[in-house]
Amino acid sequence: MTDISRLSGLQALWSETLGSPEICVAILDGPVDRAHPCFTGARLDQLATSMQNELGDDLASPHGTHVASVIFGQHGSAVKGIAPGCRGLIVPIYFSRDGDRLHCSQLDLARAINQAIELGAHVINISGGELSASGVVDSILAKAIEQCAKSGILIVAAAGNDGCRCLHVPAAAPTVLAVGAMDIDGAPLTFSNWGGSYREQGVLALGADVLGAASGGKVIAKTGTSFAAPIVAGVAALLLSMQIKRGQRPDPQKVRAAILESADPCDPAVESDCRRSLAGRLNIASAHLKLREITGSGIAGQAPPDATSRFFPASAVLETGTGANRKMQSIDARSSMSRELDQPTYRRNNMTEPASLPQPEFAEVGSQSFQATEYAAAAEYIAAPSVANVRPSAVAASDCSCQKTAAAPAIAYVLGQIGYDFGTESRRDSFTQLAGMDVYDPIELLKYLRTDPASAANLIWTLSLDATVVYAIQPYGPFASYTYDRLKEFLNAHVTQEVERVSIPGVIHGSARLLNGQEVPLLFPDLRGMYSWSTSDLILTTVGATPADPAAAALYDKKIDGVRNFLERIYYEVRNLGTSPQERAINYAATNAFQVSEVYNRIIATEMKLDCIDVERSPICRPGSDCWDVKLTFFNPAKRIEQARHVYRFTVDVSEVIPVTVGKIRHWDIY
DSSP 3-state of 60: helix
Work out the end-to-end distance of the chain between its first and last CA atoms, rounded to an integer number of angstroms: 60
DSSP type of residue 464: E
**For 293-324, what is the HEC assignment?**
HHHCCCCCCCCCCCCCCCCCCCCCCEECCCCC
Point out the catalytic residue in the list 20, 29, 338, 398. Answer: 29
**For 208-275, what is the HEC assignment?**
CCEEEEEHHHEEEEEECHHHHHHHHHHHHHHHHHHHHHCCCCCCHHHHHHHHHHHCECCCCCCCCCHH
Cα distances (angstroms) measured from residue 628 to each of 312, 581, 617, 652: 11, 8, 4, 5
Nearest to 501 by CA among 533, 456, 471, 523: 533
Residue 271 burial class via C-beta count within 10 angstroms: exposed 0-12, middle 13-18, buried 19 and up: middle
Strand residue runs (E) in 78-186: 87-92, 95-97, 101-103, 123-126, 130-132, 154-158, 167-169, 177-182
CA triplet 124, 367, 362: central angle to 5 degrees? 75
d(CA 7, CA 285) in angstroms, rounded, equals 10
Residue 536 burial class via C-beta count within 10 angstroms: exposed 0-12, middle 13-18, buried 19 and up: exposed
User: Can 151 be counted among the known catalytic residues?
Assistant: no
**Strands 130-132 vs 87-92: parallel, antiparallel or unpaired:** unpaired
d(CA 271, CA 204) in angstroms, rounded, equals 14
d(CA 190, CA 84) in angstroms, rounded, equals 30
d(CA 580, CA 88) in angstroms, rounded, equals 21
DSSP type of residue 175: T
* Count of all residues that appear for the chain in the document: 671
* Cβ-contact 273, 165 below 8 angstroms: no
Nearest to 663 by CA among 617, 606, 620: 620
Neighbours of 460 (CB within 10 A): 21
Q: How far is CA 79 from the centre of its chain?
A: 28
DSSP 3-state of 168: strand
Nearest to 115 by CA among 139, 92, 146: 92
Q: Which residues contact 404 (CB under 8 A, 6 or more apart)?
A: 313, 314
* Cβ-contact 622, 655 below 8 angstroms: no
Point out the catalytic residue in the list 61, 151, 192, 226. Answer: 226
User: Can 29 be counted among the known catalytic residues?
Assistant: yes
- The sheet with strand 627-635 has its strands ordered as 609-617, 627-635, 645-653, 660-670
Point out the catalytic residue in the list 20, 45, 50, 63. Answer: 63
User: Can 63 be counted among the known catalytic residues?
Assistant: yes
d(CA 484, CA 478) in angstroms, rounded, equals 12
Catalytic residue numbers, as ranges = 29, 63, 226
